[in-house]
Each structure stands twice: as C-alpha cells, then as structure tokens.
Amino acid sequence: MTFSKRFIRFQWVALFSLFLVISAGSFVRITGSGMGCPDWPKCFGKWIPPTAEEQLPSNYLSLFQAKRAKKAVKFCKFLTSIGMRETAEKIKADPTLLKEEPFNVARTYTEYINRLLGFLAGNLILLGFIWSLMYYRIPWLLGLSILNLIFMGIEAWFGSIVVATNLVPWTITVHLFLALVILLIQTYLIYRISPKHSKKIPVNRTILYIWWAVFVITFYQMFLGTQVREYIDELTKQGLGRDAWSDRFGMEFLIHRSFSWLVLILLLFLGWKNEQEGKIPIIRWAFVILSIELVAGVLLAYFDLPGLVQTAHLVFATILLGILGMGAYRFKRQLN
C-alpha cells in the first residue's frame, strides 16, 4: 500500500520529537533539574509553574513531600506484589527519598520544558494512531501505533515514579530503556511506510552479522553509560571531584569503555568493507555519528568539560542506535 507523503513526514516529525525528549532529559540530568517539579503531571500544582517562590504557599515543601510519599508507598506496594520486595524495602529505607528541594526557577522551567516536549511527543504518537485508524486501518500499522501509544503511556507514568522516588538511580535507567524502545518502534514504523527506506539492501553475511552485533552492543552500551553516570552522581554527592573518579570506577565503566573501542573497531572494518564493495550510505553515516559520539565520550572521561558534552554523548549515541536499527531492518543477507 502507498502512504501519503504527509503521513510519512508526520511520522518523521514524531521521531524527531522523541530525540528532543531524550536530549531534554539529558539536559535535565546535567543541570540537576530532575526534581525541579516535585509533582506530576502538574508542576507545583499548576499547569504553568510559578516564577517566584512567593507565589507558593509557605508550607509547599511539606505539602509536596506528603504527595510524593503517598505515590512512593503505592509504587513500593506494586513492586512487592510482583516479587520485588527487596527493591521496595531499599526504596523505603533511602534517606533521601522524601528530601525536598527549595524552589529554583531555572531548574523548575528546565524540567517543565522537558515535560512539554514529552507531552508533544505523546500527542504526536496519538495523532499518528488516529491518522492510521481513519485513513489506513492496516493491522500491522495499527498494531505498531497502539504499541507505541501504550509504551508512551507507561513512560509518562514511570516519569511520575522517577519524581516520586526522588530520582532513584535504577528508575532513571528504566525510563531511558522505555524511551529507546519507543524510538526503535517508531523507526521500524517509518521503515515500513517509507518507499525509500522500505527497500531491502542486500549485504554479505559478514556485514550483516557485524552490523547486528554493533546494534546489540550499542543498545547495551547506553544502559552501561547510564549506570556510569549514576555512579558519578553518587561520587559527586560524597564530595569527590573528577580527579578521584577514575580510582573508584567499577566494572561498568571498564566494560563501557572497552565496548566503545570494540564498536569502533567493528565499524572501521565495516567502513572499509563497505568502501571496497557497496558504498552503502547508511554505513558511512553510522561511522560518522559513532566518531562524534566517541569524541564526546573521551572528553567526558578525561577532560573537565561542561555538562553539555554529556548531552551530546547521549544524543549522538541515540542517533547511532536509530541508524543501526534502520540498517538492521533494511539489510538482508545475499544468497551468495
């Protein structure tokens, strides 16, 4: 079936909005704005947050602390009901669980903009489903649209859990995982509807297998990177500076760094093989994006540079994952 250019462009816009959300989430992290809004989905009880502390009630800290406590208790009960009692007990025992941060207009609006972008992306996914239902009604298209809509709903709910538990590290990792799943589903949807991207690209077995290996490793790398970042945050809370980090990095950092070089070596080989044989553009783009992403990673690990480098590192890793996903969908093994 042929899809309209407007529909295809719309789905690209929806994909771009997902990249914006992930970028904004990273910026929230580096600026320490995760608790800029102590409640969800509103921000300080309002759809448009205040611009000064004087606009809030005098007891706002205890007020929102009580609201978060109720949600945290419900979440712990949910974890217990699915067999995660130990995790629930750790959350309850966390001394920072109900710690409230005083109003900070910059952090509040940083988090607020992040939520607006999430709201925009969610509505674009919803409109994409409605569009599919009204004009196409193809089972696989409706299935993908509904699946992404469900994941967007779960992602929004889990965002409230991240806030309720005061940024418990593993919840941030789950939050990122859901975002990446949504991104890959949207990429697959575009692959299926776009005439340009739905054409299979024949590649030899070596390229196919290495490409899939890079795809899987990159997906895993993004979670290792999140765990490394969480560990750095813990060291920072302990008052340890960058000079002391390298002596305390655990196995996650070593694996993350080693896998980065492994991915580079594999893509170097793919790039060389590609120039010898097919000159496939998507392989060239993957190598370029990986190079930029690795440079950002080196700057993060070894140089005292602004936090925006961390955002660039995550953004380019996400773009690389999208490219690898599209290639995984499009590549097919040659018969010979």
Which carries the bigger pLDDT value, residue 142 or residue 1?
Answer: 142
Task: Centre a 10 Å sphere on the Cβ of residue 59 and count the other Cβ atoms it contains.
Answer: 10
Per-residue pLDDT band at 20 (split at 50, 70, 90): very high
Residue 148 and residue 186 in contact, taking contact as beta carbons nearer than 8 Å: yes
Question: In the prediction, which pLDDT does 248 show?
Answer: 61
Question: In the prediction, which pLDDT does 186 show?
Answer: 96
Per-residue pLDDT band at 233 (split at 50, 70, 90): low
- Distance between CA 48 and CA 59 in Å, rounded? 20
- Distance between CA 101 and CA 21 in Å, rounded? 24
Which carries the bigger pLDDT value, residue 77 or residue 306?
Answer: 77
Q: Which residues pair with 43 in a beta bridge?
A: 46
Query: Would you say residue 241 has pLDDT above 60?
Result: no
- Distance between CA 50 and CA 319 in Å, rounded? 35
Instruction: Match 């042929």 to its residue by tokens.
Output: 2
Tell me the mean pLDDT in the region 168-184: 85
82-117 residue pLDDT tens: 888 888 888 888 777 777 788 899 999 999 999 999
Question: In the prediction, which pLDDT does 244 show?
Answer: 55
3-state secondary structure 59-114: CHHHHHHHHHHHHHHHHHHHHHHCCCHHHHHHHHHCCCCCCCCCCCHHHHHHHHHH
SS3 assignment, position 255: helix
Tell me the mean pLDDT in the region 61-80: 86
Which carries the bigger pLDDT value, residue 141 or residue 96?
Answer: 141
Q: Which residues, 6+ apart, have CB-to-CB distance to 185 below 8 Å?
A: 144, 147, 148, 151
Q: Which of 51-60, 88-97, 162-171 has the highest mean pLDDT?
A: 51-60
Question: In the prediction, which pLDDT does 249 show?
Answer: 62
Q: Which of 26-40, 42-56, 217-231 has the highest mean pLDDT?
A: 42-56
Per-residue pLDDT band at 66 (split at 50, 70, 90): confident
- Distance between CA 107 and CA 42 in Å, rounded? 15
Question: In the prediction, which pLDDT does 130 show?
Answer: 95
Question: In the prediction, which pLDDT does 153 show?
Answer: 92
Query: Would you say residue 164 has pLDDT above 90?
Result: no
Per-residue pLDDT band at 2 (split at 50, 70, 90): confident
Tokens describing residue 54 = 């004087």
267-316 residue pLDDT tens: 888 888 888 877 888 988 888 888 887 777 776 666 655 566 777 778 88
Query: Would you say residue 242 has pLDDT above 70?
Result: no
Residue 186, amino acid: Q
Q: Which of 59-63, 74-78, 187-191 has the highest mean pLDDT?
A: 187-191
Which carries the bigger pLDDT value, residue 105 or residue 239?
Answer: 105
SS3 assignment, position 45: coil
Question: In the prediction, which pLDDT does 203 show?
Answer: 87
Give the side-chain half-sphere CA count within 13 A for 36: 25
SS3 assignment, position 201: strand
Average predicted confidence (pLDDT) for the chain: 84
* Domain layout of the chain by residue ranges: 1-198, 200-336
